[in-house]
Structure 1
Amino acid sequence: MHVLVLGAGFSGSAIAKAFLPAAQSVTGTTRSEEKASGLRTLGIDALVYDGAVISSELAAVMKRTTHLIQSIAPGRDGDPIMREDAPALGGLMPNLKWAAYLSTVGVYGDHGGAWVTEDALLEPVSARSVERVAAEQAWLAFGKASNIPVAVLRLSGIYGPGRNAFCNLAAGTARRLIKPNQVFNRIRVEDIAGAALFLSGRATGGIYNVTDNEPAPPQDIVSEAARLMGVAPPPEIPFETAELSPMARSFYGENKRVSNRRLRDLGFDFRFPDYRISLADLWSNGRWRG
């Protein structure tokens, strides 16, 4: 198995690490040589790729790739691998056997706090989520046309070592914004990696929500982290009076409860099925710092 992770950032590098023990080679791409050096310290082969120019080195890696994870976000021009002016993927990766595309639960848009499954109507609100829908469709169409299993992983709010409520509390940036009835799903980065490894091992394609079991108000996560740290939680701030960037405010415009039953019914066990288990783990072993 030769694995290529396009966009080995927070989630992509975790996926690459998960594949290391079973693969003959694992390569990740990033946009800078500094970040590439960081990947190499983890034992991951690393190449610089800006999402536009495919170097001869990357082309050689693509040629041998059997398992692909695409984690680069699309832009206005579409997915960097699937857009019309990109070389045909079948020609770039003649040995490809399975692929995963990392998407977002943002493709569902706002469902008024109702539960949504992978079959729910897609009503993306933000431009970035509209772009994700188009990218999902392109990858699924490629899989159908090439008879290669393509798994679309719709991810909820990602956190883990070095990126969590403990870090925000320690930095003094944590806030408890109160918007009545607002809930969000979350996902530990290790469970994203585990889901990708699980689906690849079964050569399984399709659409899967990769998210925890318990959508919850965002202020509850901050309060639980503060309790574990033994510090006072920040004061509650009404959402209406909070100073937020347009992007941050747009997240609160979408309210839904995302189901992960399809993935669990397939046999996947989440290591961190809810935020309490996850935060307790991060705090007890000190890995919250990253």
Structure 2
Amino acid sequence: MISMAGKRLVILGCGYVGSAVAKAALAAGARVEALTRNPEKAAALRATGLSQVVVAELGSLQWHAQIAPAPDFVVNCVSSGGPDQYWQSYVVGMQSIVSWATKNGPVGTMVYTSSTSVYPQGDGAVVDETAWAPGATPNGRTISESEVLLKTAPTTAIQRHFILRLAGIYGPGRHHLLDQLRTGTETLNGSGEHRLNLAHRDDIVAAIIACLSAPESVGTEIFNVADTAPATRAEVVAWLCTQLGRPVPAFDGTTTARRGGAPMPDRIISSAKIQQVLGWRPLHSDFRTGFGAILKGEG
């Protein structure tokens, strides 16, 4: 267990991933504060032992006076808040963070959970962090713009930052495909031919903690976070149906679209860099171990 004793962590947009980060950081001895837009989530976070929880929109200025400046660590893991809220959550939210840190004192290390949706590549390409990343959809372009805001923030505001481009997030309580199959659906939209690049919540948390605890010799970096054995959607569906004792549904052949309307690309997201630089390894290296843990945990 990495020790974070005596360190102060602020988690902004503390939802599905952020709550798990808070739990891990508390266990490591950190003092944890959080911001969430959801009052029910705030109550749950307070019950876990966080020293402060603020209810506000990240893109507002409301929280600036409520969270003390100059924390050791900040994690921005805000979610979109809905299909029409991407700009407000990601771009305006990042502007708000940079403004807060510029006016009130420097953040030591910041981690931003971005998305592999910034990559337009497909056609079976292996995609690493050197790949062109302007965003493949309007939503992806918004997230790419939020990355630029962090990349260009002065080091007097944010001394070091890590951008984690996350593959498809799944984990306990978050598994849309598994939920569809449990209903016994006979048809799934789209194709089963493209590969699914996935990242289990617990592996994302481990990657965030690895960044926060990285030695000073590791400077600002961008890392992909994904498992190491992407499989086609058809393979994942067939395996899950076997585990559930359900017949395998047919794919209807329509274009499987991701958020923003573009077709789902077939590519392999490489997480080799974070493995080499930080020694991170996914506990759930493929979908079988990840979904297997979910099925076991849910009985």
Query: Please, what TM-score do these two structures have when normalized by structure 1?
Result: 0.85
Provide the C-alpha distance between the structure 2 equivalents of 1:138 and 1:198, rounded to a whole number of angstroms.
23
Residue 202 (structure 1) shift: 0.9
Task: Determine if the alignment matches structure 1 residue 124 to structure 2 residue 135.
Answer: yes
Residue 279 (structure 1) shift: 1.5
Q: What one-letter code is carried by the residue in structure 2 that aligns with 1:36?
A: A
Match of 2:196 in 1: 184
1:72-151 aligned within 5 A: 72=78, 73=80, 75-76=86-87, 79-83=91-95, 87-92=99-104, 94-142=105-153, 144=155, 146=157, 148-151=159-162
Structure 1 residues 52-97: Cα deviation after superposition (integer angstroms, max 9, x where no partner): 33446x53424152200112248436623443897352323x2521
Q: Is the 8 A contact 2:197 2:268 kept in 1?
A: yes
Quick one: which of 276, 283, 286 aligns to 2:288? 276
1:148-187 aligned within 5 A: 148-164=159-175, 165-172=177-184, 176-177=188-189, 179=191, 181-187=193-199
CA 1:181–1:175: 2 relative to 1, 3 Å: same
CA 1:140–1:230: 2 relative to 1, 3 Å: same
Provide the C-alpha distance between the structure 2 equivalents of 1:143 and 1:223, rounded to a whole number of angstroms.
49
Residue 146 (structure 1) shift: 4.8
Name the % identity: 22
Quick one: which of 3, 12, 22 aligns to 1:6? 12
Larger deviation: 174-183 or 202-211?
Answer: 174-183
Quick one: which of 66, 74, 77 aligns to 1:68? 74
CA 1:223–1:249: 2 relative to 1, 3 Å: farther
Provide the C-alpha distance between the structure 2 equivalents of 1:85 and 1:29, rounded to a whole number of angstroms.
12
Greater helix proportion: 1
Q: What one-letter code is carried by the residue in structure 1 that aligns with 2:55?
A: V
Residue 286 (structure 1) shift: 2.5
Task: Determine if the alignment matches structure 1 residue 215 to structure 2 residue 227.
Answer: no
Q: What one-letter code is carried by the residue in structure 2 that aligns with 1:15?
A: V
* Partner SS state of residue 79, structure 1: helix
Residue 143 (structure 1) shift: 5.7
Provide the C-alpha distance between the structure 2 equivalents of 1:80 and 1:280, rounded to a whole number of angstroms.
38
Provide the C-alpha distance between the structure 2 equivalents of 1:280 and 1:253, rounded to a whole number of angstroms.
25
Q: State how many pairs are aligned.
A: 281
CA 1:181–1:168: 2 relative to 1, 3 Å: closer
Q: What one-letter code is carried by the residue in structure 2 that aligns with 1:140?
A: K
CA 1:263–1:86: 2 relative to 1, 3 Å: closer
Match of 1:52 in 2: 59
Query: Please, what TM-score do these two structures have when normalized by structure 2?
Result: 0.83
Q: Is the 8 A contact 1:178 1:236 kept in 2?
A: no
Provide the C-alpha distance between the structure 2 equivalents of 1:282 and 1:174, rounded to a whole number of angstroms.
23
Match of 1:197 in 2: 209
Provide the C-alpha distance between the structure 1 equivalents of 2:29 and 2:186, rounded to a whole number of angstroms.
39
Match of 1:26 in 2: 32
Residue 47 (structure 1) shift: 1.6
Provide the C-alpha distance between the structure 1 equivalents of 2:160 and 2:111, rounded to a whole number of angstroms.
8
Q: What one-letter code is carried by the residue in structure 2 that aligns with 1:114?
A: A
Larger deviation: 171-180 or 276-285?
Answer: 171-180
